[in-house]
């Protein structure tokens, strides 16, 4: 018996199911729960998705604005960066490479971020209204570094992609993609820490700022 | 209805006026109260120290003594909790006792809970002209749901003002043998409770367990506070003090 | 980690005498207790969610073998390499092997309490590999050569001044006094390590059987970097970390983050399934998961099983009057507070941690706030019972208990003894009705007076009344 088998044997001994029937009932219960993945109880949701999403972003110290169309994103980004005296050179996900960045006065490259990049512009797989959260999937065109290494992360969120809860996010993922990508990351605001004298500080290893641009809706 | 009074070992030895007050309150409300005279201890000190066997012996004794009562009333959340919450598990190795045990467990009441929710007492004999604050004893609160009942009763006392302390639900630091085994930690916890009490400016702290009383009063007096009274709610409701009647 | 739980009393006394620690613990309590309470107000069905969380954890434990098998199957199907370790030493050896095979010279670490259990950092450093903790609190204690004193806020016992001194000494930069500036300095100092590390090690908050996924709950961003930037990622997790489905994780998280820090959600939830996929621009080439026993199967088989439900939120210690008074180091191992009082003897041996389950008033503040309803006082009592059964209690204590029980079972003797005590006590109290020193009661009298009894027992007074 190898280590794995010894550990599993000790677990089975500890659980002491007894009969073979009980053993197969356990396997069936597990299959059933995994196949059906029932939802646990959640609090009442008597709010509208988009207002709730915006309100929660604010409470997380993200900033939020709404625009009507995707084409307006470069203008919105330029305004945000200008108002906050931030650098105008950014990196973005490939899905935004065709927008009119130069016309808005911005220098934007569609590539993964490095330690030197100051502003990262990403999309989302979807966003979670309940908590003001962005759901990001790893993939060839959704670089992890964009929302991680730069000090400023700008996320473009189509209003139609704001779902109510993480559970809804999982269902959307299952329906649209089938399986999980290598990494699913839920981002809720700028990075934070309260390890020194319980004092909250925004901006530690991840971004200092998260700016969310809600498109449409 | 035959009401058995389980006085508790600490009341018997240290604060009999609590027992006499309980008796008075129950009789005033029209109960036929019996006090089995062979009662001693519910077994909690042994139980919490890990001595199951002694605890079981004491539990069986309590069961014998109170088996002909319709219900049992206890002026202590910790002893009441011991009987109501822990006796079933403690005596699970004696299934022959189960019917009697079930009856006891279903009909044991902490005193304030009994006065409010069974007897629906409207008037009480005591008076108190001053301010009190109330400490929520842990077992009473978390095992038996004793929270509003003592406060409702105190509200019936003419002249009394209740002022809540910060953190009334914080432990007083007694914990039975904990107070002697880890005295320095216990004292720190009690100091915070005493500070919260004194900060209310109340004339008295009222509570529901003699264990908490000893812990709080002992620490108050050691710290030089000879004025803040420490009273069981039964005493203040019954208008009985430490002097035996 | 080396066990020093045998020194609980001494370390507790030191802690009580430390005014800075007192202030730090007061801060922790103020933030964590009120933060949790406030954030839970939005869950109007809190008790329903708590009960469901308990059920989901119990389901996982009741079917642990099948769930671990499914987890392994699903993780491997996605290219993860799954290893099993029976002891802490095996974990360390496995990690070193993986590091050596991949010519790893530098490791970045995102917090793992299990890694603390096994002494992983020291083991790897002794083998010549640089290990860098990246959670700010863990980084601070690593630099200070200390152990964590809280499972969520490991450096809570340190003041800002002390951290400023530490940073000045280690970073060789001008001393910062502002906490924000210190944080920025830490970011700046640690950032190059993220970008140059060969391997990342994390723990796992949960292992999801449904998808073969390992997930972590963080706020800082180091967890994301550790699982993405280096070319090798190793996640270590105890067997009890398994949950059945993604839905189970989602609803339990609502309780976890609120119970831990009062946040409705933590900054980053990172779900990792397998290594880099074809086409990905980021991610490790290799992803290893080490599933660890290290005493957990023994607890599973015991009447302490409920302790394995623990989701490591820290609420129990935040609300415990004993932890609030003495902090985490007194407990002498990895897990402090009420959960530590149960897990420490369970994992390191009953006789190495005799004081821990006894250093509690059994007030049950912990049980009331535990998101998965672990009956902590009951488990502490069970450990006390085990100590009695194995004759581990000191003889004076055993004798006193036996005498008490002997008397309490004999009403006549009891009445006589208590009658005497009541009289003596009344006399000893004098006119002040207060006893300052109890004969044979030195432990009580060291800290408290004893209000004198009234001279007669209730039994006597009742008899006279009738």
Task: Examine the domain organization and report whether C40 and C185 are in the same domain.
Answer: yes
Task: Examine the domain organization and report whether C155 and C287 are in the same domain.
Answer: yes
Query: Of residues B167 and B242, which shows the higher confidence score?
Result: B167
At A18 the pLDDT is 83
At B244 the pLDDT is 39
Are the Cβ atoms of A133 and C265 closer than 8 angstroms? yes
At C429 the pLDDT is 85
- Tell me if B72 sits within 8 A of B37, measured CB to CB: no
Are the Cβ atoms of B37 and C462 closer than 8 angstroms? yes
Task: Examine the domain organization and report whether C404 and C293 are in the same domain.
Answer: no
Q: Is residue C237 a part of any domain in this protein?
A: yes
At A203 the pLDDT is 87
At C284 the pLDDT is 98
At C428 the pLDDT is 87
Q: Is the dihedral of CA C297, C300, C306, C309 positive or negative?
A: positive
Check contact C-A (3+ Cβ pairs < 8 Å): yes
Q: Is residue C312 a part of any domain in this protein?
A: no
At A1 the pLDDT is 84
Are the Cβ atoms of C448 and B184 closer than 8 angstroms? no
Q: Which two structure tokens, joined as six digits, stand for A1?
A: 């018996």
Are the Cβ atoms of A205 and C281 closer than 8 angstroms? no
Between strands A119-122 and C130-133, the pairing is unpaired
Q: Is residue C390 a part of any domain in this protein?
A: no
Instruction: List pLDDT tens digits, range B69-125.
Output: 999 999 999 999 999 999 999 999 999 999 999 999 999 999 999 999 999 999 999
Nearest CA in chain B to C368: B142
Instruction: List pLDDT tens digits, range C289-316.
Output: 999 999 999 999 999 999 999 999 999 9
Q: Is residue C59 a part of any domain in this protein?
A: yes
Q: Directed axis angle between helix B16-28 and helix C458-465, to 10°? A: 40
Domain spans of chain B, in order of start: 2-117, 130-238
- Judge whether B163 is closer than 8 Å to chain C, CB to CB: no
Are the Cβ atoms of B175 and C362 closer than 8 angstroms? yes
Are the Cβ atoms of B187 and C386 closer than 8 angstroms? no
Which residue bears the tokens 């059994």? C362
Q: Quick one: fold of B130-238?
A: Rossmann fold (3.40.50)
Q: Which two structure tokens, joined as six digits, stand for C430?
A: 């004098």
Instruction: List pLDDT tens digits, range A52-68.
Output: 999 999 999 999 999 99
At C433 the pLDDT is 83
- Identify the CATH number of the domain in which residue C36 sits: 3.40.50.10420
At B110 the pLDDT is 98
Boundary of a domain, candidates C297, C332, C353? C297
What confidence category does residue A194 fall into, taking pLDDT thresholds of 50, 70 and 90?
confident
Are the Cβ atoms of C136 and A196 closer than 8 angstroms? yes
Q: Is residue C292 a part of any domain in this protein?
A: yes
What pTM did the predictor assign?
Answer: 0.96
For chain C, residues with pLDDT lower than 70 are: 466
Are the Cβ atoms of C404 and B50 closer than 8 angstroms? no
Number of domains in chain C: 2
- Tell me if C301 sits within 8 A of C247, measured CB to CB: no
At B243 the pLDDT is 41
> Residue A154: CB partners within 8 Å, gap ≥ 6?
A77, A80, A90, A119, A120, A121, A122, A210, A211, A212, A213
Burial of A155 (0-12, 13-18, 19+ CB in 10 A): buried
At A125 the pLDDT is 98
Q: How far apart are CA B46 and CA B176, in angstroms?
A: 10
Burial of A6 (0-12, 13-18, 19+ CB in 10 A): middle
With residues binned 3-state (H G I as helix, E B as strand, rest as coil), the percentages for chain C, rounded to 5, are 55, 10, 30
Residue B242 pLDDT greater than 60, yes or no: no
What confidence category does residue B241 fall into, taking pLDDT thresholds of 50, 70 and 90?
low
At B20 the pLDDT is 95
Chain A from 104 to 163: CB within 8 A of any C CB:
112, 115, 131, 133, 138-140, 143-145, 148
Residue B145 pLDDT greater than 70, yes or no: yes
Boundary of a domain, candidates C242, C266, C297? C297
Boundary of a domain, candidates C297, C317, C342? C297
Least confident residue range of A164-168, B32-36, C357-361, C396-400: C396-400
At B245 the pLDDT is 35
The residue segments making up the domain with residue C143 are: 5-297
Identify which of A91, A97, A88 has the alpha carbon closest to the alpha carbon of residue A111: A91
Q: Is residue C178 a part of any domain in this protein?
A: yes
Q: How far apart are CA C332 and CA C322, in angstroms?
A: 14
At A151 the pLDDT is 95
Q: Is residue C259 a part of any domain in this protein?
A: yes
Query: Of residues A199 and C348, which shows the higher confidence score?
Result: C348
- Tell me if B208 sits within 8 A of B233, measured CB to CB: yes
C388: nearest CB among B14, B51, B189: B51
Q: Which two structure tokens, joined as six digits, stand for C27?
A: 């801060």
Chain C from 395 to 434: CB within 8 A of any A CB:
none
Identify which of B105, B113, B63 has the alpha carbon closest to the alpha carbon of residue B86: B105
At C177 the pLDDT is 87
- Judge whether C254 is closer than 8 Å to chain A, CB to CB: yes
Are the Cβ atoms of C254 and A139 closer than 8 angstroms? no
B54: nearest CB among C321, C367, C405: C405
Give contacts of C27 with chain A, Cβ < 8 Å: 197-198
Task: Examine the domain organization and report whether C139 and C269 are in the same domain.
Answer: yes
Residue A161 pLDDT greater than 50, yes or no: yes
Shortest Cα–Cα distance, B71 to chain C (Å): 20
Q: Is residue C153 a part of any domain in this protein?
A: yes
- Judge whether C354 is closer than 8 Å to chain A, CB to CB: no
């Amino acid at each position: 018996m190898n280590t794995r088998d010894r550990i599993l044997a000790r677990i089975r001994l500890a659980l002491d199911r007894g009969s073979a029937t009980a053993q197969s009932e356990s396997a069936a219960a597990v299959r059933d729960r995994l196949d059906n993945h029932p939802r646990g109880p959640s609090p009442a949701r008597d709010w509208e998705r988009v207002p709730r999403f915006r309100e929660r972003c604010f409470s997380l110290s993200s900033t939020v604005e709404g625009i009507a169309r995707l084409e307006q994103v470069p203008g919105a980004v330029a305004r945000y960066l200008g108002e906050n005296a931030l650098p105008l050179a950014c990196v973005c996900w490939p899905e935004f490479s065709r927008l009119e960045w130069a016309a808005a006065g911005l220098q934007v490259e569609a590539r993964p971020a490095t330690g030197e990049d100051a502003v990262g512009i990403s999309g989302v797989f979807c966003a979670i209204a309940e908590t003001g959260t962005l759901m990001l999937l790893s993939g060839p065109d959704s670089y992890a570094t964009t929302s991680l290494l730069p000090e400023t992360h700008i996320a473009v969120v189509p209003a139609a992609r704001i779902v109510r809860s993480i559970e809804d996010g999982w269902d959307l993922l299952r329906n649209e993609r089938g399986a999980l990508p290598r990494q699913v990351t839920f981002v809720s605001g700028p990075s934070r820490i309260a390890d020194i004298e319980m004092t909250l500080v925004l901006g530690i290893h991840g971004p200092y700022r998260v700016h969310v641009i809600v498109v449409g809706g | 209805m035959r009401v058995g009074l389980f006085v508790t070992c600490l009341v018997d030895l240290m604060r009999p006026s609590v027992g006499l007050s309980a008796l008075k309150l129950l009789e005033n409300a029209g109960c036929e109260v019996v006090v089995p005279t062979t009662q001693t201890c519910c077994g909690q000190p042994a139980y919490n120290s890990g001595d199951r066997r002694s605890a079981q012996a004491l539990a069986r004794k309590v069961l014998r003594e109170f088996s002909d009562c319709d219900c049992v009333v206890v002026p202590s959340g910790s002893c009441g909790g011991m009987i109501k919450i822990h006796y079933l598990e403690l005596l699970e190795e004696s299934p022959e006792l189960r019917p009697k045990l079930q009856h006891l467990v279903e009909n044991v009441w902490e005193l304030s809970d009994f006065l409010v929710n069974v007897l629906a007492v409207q008037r009480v004999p005591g008076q108190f002209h001053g301010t009190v604050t109330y400490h929520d004893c842990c077992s009473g609160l978390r095992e038996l749901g004793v929270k509003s009942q003592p406060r409702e009763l105190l509200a019936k006392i003419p002249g009394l003002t209740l002022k809540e302390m910060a953190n009334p639900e914080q432990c007083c630091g007694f914990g039975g043998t904990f107070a002697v085994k880890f005295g320095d930690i216990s004292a720190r916890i009690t100091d915070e409770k005493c500070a919260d009490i004194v900060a209310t400016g109340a004339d008295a702290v009222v509570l529901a367990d003699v264990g908490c009383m000893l812990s709080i009063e002992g620490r108050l007096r050691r710290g030089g506070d000879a004025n803040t009274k420490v009273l069981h709610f039964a005493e203040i409701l019954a208008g009985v003090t430490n002097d035996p009647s | 980690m080396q066990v020093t739980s045998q020194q609980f009393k001494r370390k507790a006394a030191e802690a009580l005498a430390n005014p800075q620690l007192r202030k730090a613990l007061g801060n922790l309590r103020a933030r964590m207790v009120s933060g949790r309470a406030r954030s839970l107000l939005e869950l109007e069905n809190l008790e329903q969610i708590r009960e469901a969380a308990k059920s989901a954890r119990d389901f996982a434990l009741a079917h642990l073998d099948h769930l671990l098998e499914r987890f392994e199957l699903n993780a491997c199907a996605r290219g993860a390499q799954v290893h099993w370790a029976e002891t802490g030493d095996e974990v360390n050896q496995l990690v070193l092997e993986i590091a050596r095979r991949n010519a790893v010279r530098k490791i970045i670490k995102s917090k793992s309490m299990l890694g603390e259990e096994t002494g992983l950092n020291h083991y790897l450093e002794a083998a010549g590999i640089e290990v860098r903790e990246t959670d700010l609190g863990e980084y601070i204690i690593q630099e200070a050569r200390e152990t964590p004193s809280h499972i969520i806020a490991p450096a809570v016992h340190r003041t800002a001044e002390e951290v400023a001194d530490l940073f000045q000494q280690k970073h060789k930069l001008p001393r910062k006094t502002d906490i924000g500036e210190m944080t920025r300095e830490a970011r700046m100092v640690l950032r190059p390590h993220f970008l140059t590390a060969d391997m990342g090690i994390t723990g796992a908050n949960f292992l999801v059987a449904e998808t073969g996924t390992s997930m972590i709950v963080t706020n800082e961003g180091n967890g994301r970097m550790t699982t993405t930037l280096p070319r090798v990622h190793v996640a270590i997790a105890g067997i009890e970390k398994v949950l059945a489905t993604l839905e189970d994780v989602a609803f339990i998280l609502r309780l976890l983050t609120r119970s831990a820090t009062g946040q409705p959600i933590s900054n980053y939830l990172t779900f990792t399934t397998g290594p880099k996929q074809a086409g990905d621009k980021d991610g490790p080439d290799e992803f290893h998961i080490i599933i660890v026993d290290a005493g957990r199967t023994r607890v599973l088989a015991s009447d302490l099983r409920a302790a394995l439900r623990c989701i490591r939120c820290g609420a129990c210690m935040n609300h415990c009057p004993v932890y609030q008074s003495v902090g985490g180091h007194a407990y002498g191992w990895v897990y402090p507070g009420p959960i530590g009082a149960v897990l420490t003897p369970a994992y390191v041996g009953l006789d190495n941690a005799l004081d821990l389950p006894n250093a509690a008033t059994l007030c049950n503040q912990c049980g009331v706030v535990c998101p998965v309803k672990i009956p902590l006082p009951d488990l502490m009592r069970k450990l006390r019972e085990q100590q009695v059964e194995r004759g581990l209690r000191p003889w004076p204590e055993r004798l006193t208990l036996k005498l008490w029980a002997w008397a309490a079972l004999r009403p006549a003797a009891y009445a006589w003894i208590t009658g005497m005590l009541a009289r003596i006590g009344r006399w000893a109290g004098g006119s002040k009705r207060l006893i300052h020193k109890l004969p044979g009661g030195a432990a009580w009298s060291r800290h408290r007076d004893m209000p004198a009894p009234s001279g007669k027992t209730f039994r006597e007074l009742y008899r006279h009344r009738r």
